[in-house]
Amino acid sequence: MTRSVGQPLLRADGRAKVTGQARYSAEVPVASVVYAVMVTSDIAKGRVLEVDASAALKEPGVLDVLWHGNAMRLPGDLSPADRGDRVVQVLQDDRILYSNQPIALAVADTFERAVHAALLVGVRSSPERHTVEMEDELDRATPQDINRASGARPADQVLGDPTLGLRQADASVEATYELPPETHNPMEPHATIAVWSGPERVTLYDATQGIFGVRKKIAKFFAIPPQNVRVITKFVGGGFGCKGSTWSHVPLAALAAKQLNRPVKLVLTRPQMFGMVGGRPHVRQQLTVGAKRDGKLTVLRHQSFSTTSRFDTFLEPAASVSRDCYACANIESKHRVVRLDIGTPAPMRAPGESSGGFALESALDELAHKLSIDPLKLRLRNYAEVDPMEGKPFSSKSLRACYEAASRRFGWEKRSPKPRSITRGGLLVGMGMATASYPANFSLAQAAARLTADGTALVQSGAVDIGTGTYTVMAQVAADALRLPVSKVRFDLGDSEMPESPRSGGSQTAASVSSAVLLTCNALRDRLVKMAVADPASPLHGARPEDVAVEDGSLSAGGRADTYVEIIRRAGGQAIEERGEAKPDPERKRYSLHSFGAQFAEVLVDPDLGTTRVTRLVGAFAAGRILNARLARSQFISGMVWGIGMALHEHTVYDARLGRIVTRDLADYHVPVNADVPEIDPIFLDEVDSHVDPAGVKGIGEIGITGVAAAIANAVFNATGIRVRTLPITPDKLLQLPTAERQQRPSAHR
């Protein structure tokens, strides 16, 4: 039988999505549902003095306007439910902590009436002095430890003597790199439907990356047992980190439904996606890299400052990438948070590695230029055979092969090291490259597998498919473990009544859930073999289990055969089920666990207009066992496209005077569109790793973006000779050429 793992099978949920049969959270039909629309603050800090709902309540169909003066008091603990959770605002007091904070909720019998009612609500507030600018609070930045799925790490780490390393360097670069705040903009906005079926039992249809996190939070807030909270999420229209936490709107929907004794649907508008539900914070990074003339690094210093809210803490662990990427005897990394009057940030695709990689890989490019060494050769000169900071061996590392495959496909040998030396049609041509890396995360996950009388299998886990193809790849893993054609296996997910799994974030779902599915299905297959050899009525009776081969649902040994269908029939016809789990083994701690890759970019820069167009991207990635070649390609491409957005487009702009985000929709907040996306060529190496997890899988959802912004910025320097250290790379940053260079530059109209 042909194994299905690794094959480019079509999405199991593809037809349902393109035909509209797939129901997203806001589309689930619920009888007698009413609609809630949030009223949000227009100041960044202060207090609500009065909410005037009189005009709204006079309108037809308006059921109520809830605010802190009349909303029910939540009986439970309002602190975060776990370390990945956030502090939220749910109409329990008069404090305004950031602009766009929910301060009232209009509820009506139709969505249109709820929108109209929300517009009629008058709010009188008392503003207080605020700041949304990092510069204002930079001198009060504080250290912050790193908390990730792979475990906690200290804010600061030092290896060797960085001061001595800097003195030993023949050349060095000291520079500051900056990323603006960025905002998630998944196609599906956040949405929740809350339905109470008694005073202590609630069902939530929620657009979330983690149904068990939602269950914990709602149970904690309402002081009810977790098993009384059911969360269902069958499809998510993009998450990328913003749907990993349970934000204010979720308990607000549950609160309104309980107080009004009606099912309530609450869907965020696009402007409400800005500030209330996270985003990448403003990140400023100070880099010092130094090397001998041959390119051998003598020092690597990386300090990161990232913004967070005053009432909660989120850290962008940008400097962590410098701890385990390159061989260097003297490394120092520091993380600081800067508290502002903003909503709490959140993980955004490859948090830490994508932002930190921009700074680190840009600095190395600057160092290579100063030393007149090819940037790829500089990285190979400092290739880390073991984890530099911890001295651990890597569980697997195929980065050399990634460099080789990507550089060959890209044609790196054609690059000229001299900026502004190659033109095409009057445009400046540049080539750049960068390293990609991301931790290989793996968390406890559970699964259940059931084989039915007709020989088909149902496998379940409470994971969430955020569009990556979890329905498909888990069916492939289960099919191979059960020795069945994938057509006879169905995988289901997204219900908190199923076995528990971690949030779909941190590139851990494929590794964690596939390991649980693999072990559970292996146990079910072994159980069926044992049933057969122990059954006097089976042709395999008396055979040794280890001698029994299984293919296509048929068992054989010594010329005798039995089938799953017959085994179940003889056992009474009832489905046979196994439940199991996979969790990190202590042995795993002996290794440094990462996915690696190499990114190469070509750009064209118009010297008259300063516009940049990415014309080619080539990336090679080594990420453990590839479960589905088609879906893996999609994941890598999507990450690389997002890297274009990070490099050239994305910027959440605050009005410092009002403390308000002014880029509040997709007209003002720019993301790449089809015209911005060039030929993208991902290469992935199927890597054998027996240490990373039982399935040998490393996540790929996030590594695709890492290194892209740096590769593009490095290509822009190669094209123009201008080093852009603050993203995004916009025309104004490329038009500041010295007068002499302006006179010498090639004409775009030539």
Q: Of the CATH numbers 3.40.50.800, 3.30.420.40, 3.40.50.300, 3.30.365.10, which one belongs to the domain with range 32-129+187-238+243-273?
A: 3.30.365.10
Domain 443-583 has CATH 3.40.50.970: no
The pLDDT of residue 148 is 81
Query: What is the pLDDT, as a whole number, of residue 632?
Result: 97
Catalytic residue set:
702
Q: What is the pLDDT of residues 180-223, one digit of tens each?
A: 999 999 999 999 999 999 999 999 999 999 999 999 999 999 99
Among the listed ranges 145-149, 330-334, 668-672, which one has the minimum average pLDDT value? Answer: 145-149
- Determine how many CB atoms are found less than 10 A away from the CB of residue 223: 11
Identify the band that residue 152 occupies on the pLDDT scale cut at 50, 70 and 90.
confident
Between 747 and 582, the higher pLDDT residue: 582
Q: How many whole angstroms separate alpha carbon 81 and alpha carbon 250?
A: 13
- Picking from 635, 698, 642, the residue whose alpha carbon sits closest to that of residue 355 is 642
Give the pLDDT confidence score for residue 2 in this predicted structure.
56
Q: In this predicted structure, what is the pLDDT of residue 393?
A: 98
Q: Does 459 score more than 90 pLDDT? A: yes
Rounded to an integer, the average pLDDT of 520-524 is 98
Label residue 151 by pLDDT band (50, 70, 90): confident
> What is the CATH code of the structural domain delimited by 349-357+369-441+589-744?
3.30.365.10
Give the mean model confidence (pLDDT) for residues 558-565: 97
Interval 642-662: pLDDT, tens? 999 999 999 999 999 999 999
Average pLDDT over residues 545-555: 97
Residues in the chain: 750
Alpha-helical segments (H) within 111-248: 111-120, 134-137, 162-168, 211-222
- Across residues 664-671, what is the average pLDDT? 96
For the chain, the domains span 32-129+187-238+243-273, 349-357+369-441+589-744, 443-583
What does the mean pLDDT of the chain come to?
A: 96
Task: Give the pLDDT of residue 410.
Answer: 98
Quick check: 739 pLDDT over 50? no
Name the residue among 154, 133, 174, 165 with its Cα closest to residue 334. Answer: 154
Residue appearing with tokens 């005077």: 657
Q: b vs e for 500-515, b when ≥16 Cβ sit within 10 Å of the residue's Cβ?
A: bbbbbbbbbbbbbbbb
pLDDT interval class at 745 (50, 70, 90): very low
Tell me the per-residue pLDDT of 90-128, one tens digit each, with 9 for 90 and over: 999 999 999 999 999 999 999 999 999 999 999 999 999
Q: Under 8 Å CB-to-CB from 414, ≥6 apart: which residues?
A: 431
Task: Note the pLDDT tens digit of each residue in 601-633.
Answer: 999 999 999 999 999 999 999 999 999 999 999
pLDDT band at 304 (very low <50, low <70, confident <90, very high): very high
Integer Cα distance of 694 and 621 in angstroms:
20
